[in-house]
Amino acid sequence: MNGFPLDTTQSLWHGTTILCVRKGSKTVIAGDGQVSLGQTVIKSNARKVRRIGAGGLVIAGFAGATADAFTLFERLEAKLERHPGQLTRACVELAKDWRTDRYLRRLEAMMIVADATTALVLTGTGDVLEPDDGVIGIGSGGNYALAAARALVPVDMDPEEIARRAMAIAAEICVYTNTNLTVETIEAAR
């Protein structure tokens, strides 16, 4: 199976869409800005994608509870400090902690993380997964954005443009997703 559609239908993930598109030497993570509480939009311009780690060489986007995601960002940054330049190792170490630490086990979030050479999704079940095709979608609109991005990857388009268009499609379908995007890009050295 190319990439992986994740089950994002649980109420836990309502209120966000995060998409990663990796094409050529560029990796882009885009996230919408909508925060919903039930059927009410609380905020329309939240920033769910950010650079982390020394020098901002890693991009991370989250779906789920905000405080939980920030806890995970902090923990991942600590792992990156211990394992500089080794994103996969840092993520595996975080996943181990997430599964075994009583406090972390209760965190309700998912993350997409990427550097110039690797893109991964991390879950609270201990998963650290890398897609075959470089496209990952999480959150309530994640599967819509994932499908749209997969359709656009073969087209002669820049990955940022693919991510923006795919997110716009997801926002037209998913009521928990809007078009106020935060987009971060990392480019591998040639």
To the query of whether residue 185 is one of the catalytic residues in this protein, the response is no
Structural domain contains residue 137: yes
For the chain, the residue count is: 190
Beta bridge partners of 110: 63
pLDDT at 17 over 90: yes
Q: Is the pLDDT of residue 6 over 60?
A: no
Asked if residue 97 is part of any domain, the answer here is yes
Residue 125: count of CB within 10 angstroms of its CB: 9
- From 8, 16, 27, 177, the catalytic residue: 16
Average pLDDT, the chain: 87
Number of domains making up the chain: 1
Residue 78 phi, psi (nearest 5): -65, -40
What average pLDDT score do residues 37-45 get?
Answer: 87
The candidate with the shortest Cα–Cα distance to 65, out of 15, 136, 103, 131, is: 15
135: domain CATH number is: 3.60.20.10
- pTM as predicted: 0.89
Domain presence at residue 34: yes
Domain presence at residue 5: no
The pLDDT value recorded for residue 10 is: 41
In a domain, 2, yes or no: no
* pLDDT tens per residue, range 64-76: 877 788 888 888 9
